[in-house]
Structure 1
Amino acid sequence: MKQIIDLLTEDISEENKLLILEILKCLLRRSDHLTAMVLSKQILALGKLMTKLGVRNSEPVYLKAKQFLKSAFLRFAVAGLFVLMFKNQTVSDSSNAGDVDLFFVLRTVIDPDDVIPDQDVRGEIIYLRDQ
């Protein structure tokens, strides 16, 4: 799972990134224990991805990453998630300026006025081959 998470920050296609995000979402939904084991790695990888995309906030990868982080924050906030996030990672400074800006990520994900449609609501299924 850790190797899959690392692929998010590599130069791969958008479809592959969306597939990885879907795998992470399924893991979050099905296993809190396994998700908790790799949660800090997921947050940092998705933070790097969102920081890299920056103002291009209408792209599907950005929206899917934001949706995953919002779900993870809601599920794990009471379990010391924010302590975990800031324990081993600098928030933002000149040495990691292009890497990850956790303040940007938190501001984006926790925005109370932002509404992201929940993908768990079953609608029409669109298979990859039909796209």
Structure 2
Amino acid sequence: MITATYTQAQQLKAASAIPMDIKNHAQGWQLVSRYQSLSFEERRAILTLSFKAIDQHGSLRAYHSEPAKFFDQFCTDNNRKGAALASKLKQLNLLKCYEGKFSLTVAAINMIESINKPAAEH
């Protein structure tokens, strides 16, 4: 979605249930799903965590958590550790931490569910 002003883009972003980012566009400001702005390793980690929740609990919305070590397998940079990846996703409001384990936030679940929906449904 493209808006003429940054203020309009901010208002639409705030009203959206799906985490969005605002990007500069030739015709104004463009709202894009935060999923599109994630790195490859961030996408893999979020999607794998969601698949594990579905496999183990039958629902993406069921509570499922993993320790920070779980995220080590997604780090393509040998110097980066899973805890740093989990922390980055937490800063993006896609993970929450409870007793040292990370789980998906409602915003992350909404983002994952929106991936397969047609754009008209957003």
TM-score (norm 2): 0.29
Which has the greater radius of gyration? Answer: 2
Structure with more of its chain in helix, by fraction: 1
Structure showing the higher strand proportion among its residues = 2
